[in-house]
Structure 1
Amino acid sequence: MNPDFPRPFVFVPKQGDPRLLFVLLHGESAGPEQLFPLAEAIKQAFPLALVVLPHAFVHVAGGGAGAAGGPRGYHWIDPAGLEAHNYASRVAQALPGLIKQIQQIQARYGLSGEQTALGGFSQGACMALEAGLAQPDLAGRILAFSGLYASQPAKAPPLTMLHFFHGAEDRQLPAGEVQAALAHLGELQGDVTLDVASAIGHELHPALIRQAIVRLQTCVPLRNWEAALSALQEQAAVAAAADTGKPAPASGRTLH
């Protein structure tokens, strides 16, 4: 990382070692401060969480393009000449740096991908989603606020639960596009939830933040349910075999 580049905001647990990692990615033309309300809610709900808010990679100062009405602040991809046809390729170019940064944080604190959640707003949500797709073991959950994949995915991340949060009045990214993406991910056997709040636009609204905490606290990943169901079925088969004196069917697993 460039030593002259701003360091990320890092919030460590007040007591004890971190058990969870949240990496929160701000939107375009913004900075990490945009996600302070989300970070605070996470810290309150998960006292043993490490919360990291990095700056995006491209900075547009107040002069130049910004003074002429162009984009200011930090961007995950270069906003100069950005169009629909080159958006996905620019996101792909930026992903290795983001993935490396997240992996370095995980290694430093001894936290796994399963213990990691990525969150993002708008362009930051896109980066989080694409990073989780490019590196399947990077995060166990992704919180996408007002954002989507850069392009329609051909597969769903096998180890990641996706939570989408959106405003019904979003004009920048209509909720209908997110609902269509949810249906597509469902066809790909993705583990996905969507919450749409009425009378809310393209914003990180407190109502969506509250719902994100509810999802984190109450939603069990589908793979965990399937594993638990399989274990219950095996137990039932063993019990039935014990009653009848017949051997239980093989589970396909080797027990040690």
Structure 2
Amino acid sequence: MTEIKTSQILLPEGGAHGQLFYILHEESEQLTNMPFLLGTIRAEFPDAVIQLAVVALEEDLQWPAAESSEADVSATVQLAPRLAESIKSLEHDIQMGQNKQGVLSEATAVVGVGLAGSLVLGLTLLEQPIAGRIITFGAAFPAYPLDLSLDTTIHLLHADRDMAVPSTQAREAHERMALLQADATIDIAMNSADSFSEVLIGKMFERLKTCVPLRYWRYAAESGDDKEQDEVPPASLH
């Protein structure tokens, strides 16, 4: 099974833990813009817990082809058991972080970079949403889901000249999510080969601050004009 290790946990100065940012990247990667990401999270979300995790992905891990048919996708667990195990391992590690820090899934953002981001997108294949936001830089779906819950908002960030994962895959993924009426956005940095650039990191925070999750609109529609209802929407990242 793919091993996922926590490399760093940054706690807020106050006692309250408002959100959890779980960031996953490959162990071998040297990401020069990671300090910029961490610093901006702390500035924009001072009550957030930041958990930095690394993964050493096996070279022979079976990644289904991006053009897999929907019939193939429905059998992902059978076709790629090691990949399914890796996704479940990631889910378990995120849940452990949520439980330890006392943060709900609605207030969790899972961020994935590169191939590790593709593992993060695999979380969309789970039956139960694990996070309020899934954010990836230069990633591709390991398999396309047949259904997507509005309880998770997905943000794809990609450089148009990314050599590892062509931006056409990100565009196709967004089109497929649109067909599923999912809550998803895409930002493509033009004339760039770096999907984990300061420009796209800035776009991530722009999305977090301006994109109201569709589940809030759904909640408002379901609540209607019932004045006696005392419930409020769950905490989230916005």
**What TM-score range do you get, normalising by the shorter chain?**
0.7 to 0.9
What is the deviation of 1:192?
0.3
With the length of structure 1 as denominator, give the TM-score of the two structures.
0.74
Partner of 1:48: 47
Separation in 1 of the partners of 2:10 and 2:199?
23
CA distance 1:17–1:160, change in 2 (3 Å):
same
Letter in 1 for 2:195: E
**Equivalent runs, 1:125-144 vs 2, <5 Å:** 125-144=117-136
Q: Say if 2:176 is the partner of 1:184.
A: yes
Aligned residues: 215
Partner of 1:227: 219
CA distance 1:155–1:202, change in 2 (3 Å):
farther
CA distance 1:85–1:255, change in 2 (3 Å):
closer
- State the identity as a percent: 27
Q: Secondary structure at the match of 1:18?
A: coil
Letter in 2 for 1:217: K
Separation in 2 of the partners of 1:110 and 1:176?
38
**96-105 or 222-231: which moved more?**
222-231
Separation in 2 of the partners of 1:162 and 1:128?
11
Separation in 2 of the partners of 1:78 and 1:86?
17
Q: Secondary structure at the match of 2:46?
A: coil
Q: Say if 2:206 is the partner of 1:214.
A: yes
Instruction: Extract unaligned runs of 5+ from structure 2.
Output: 67-75, 232-238
What is the deviation of 1:133?
3.2
Partner of 1:172: 164
Partner of 1:78: 58
1:118–1:142 contact (8 Å) kept in structure 2? yes
Q: Deviations over 1:134-166 (max 9, x none)?
A: 153310001111002101222223410000111
CA distance 1:84–1:183, change in 2 (3 Å):
same
Partner of 1:70: none
Letter in 2 for 1:8: S
Q: Deviations over 1:95-114 (max 9, x none)?
A: 22211111111111211100
Aligned residues: CA RMSD: 2.8
Partner of 2:196: 204
Separation in 2 of the partners of 1:134 and 1:158?
13
Q: Secondary structure at the match of 1:55?
A: strand
Q: Deviations over 1:202-251 (max 9, x none)?
A: 431000001101111111011112322454xx33xx89xxxxxxxxxxxx
Separation in 1 of the partners of 2:43 and 2:97?
21
Between Structure 1 and Structure 2, whose CA radius of gyration is higher? 1
Separation in 1 of the partners of 2:32 and 2:161?
24
**36-45 or 138-147: which moved more?**
36-45
Letter in 2 for 1:21: L
Q: Secondary structure at the match of 1:21?
A: strand
Letter in 2 for 1:227: Y
**Equivalent runs, 1:232-243 vs 2, <5 Å:** 234-235=224-225
Q: Say if 2:154 is the partner of 1:162.
A: yes
Instruction: Extract unaligned runs of 5+ from structure 1.
Output: 57-74, 240-252
CA distance 1:33–1:134, change in 2 (3 Å):
farther
Letter in 2 for 1:78: E
Q: Secondary structure at the match of 2:148?
A: coil
**Equivalent runs, 1:40-119 vs 2, <5 Å:** 40-56=39-55, 75=56, 77-79=57-59, 81-82=60-61, 89=80, 90-119=82-111
Q: Which has the higher contact order (CA 8 A, sep 6+)?
A: 2
Separation in 2 of the partners of 1:154 and 1:14?
41
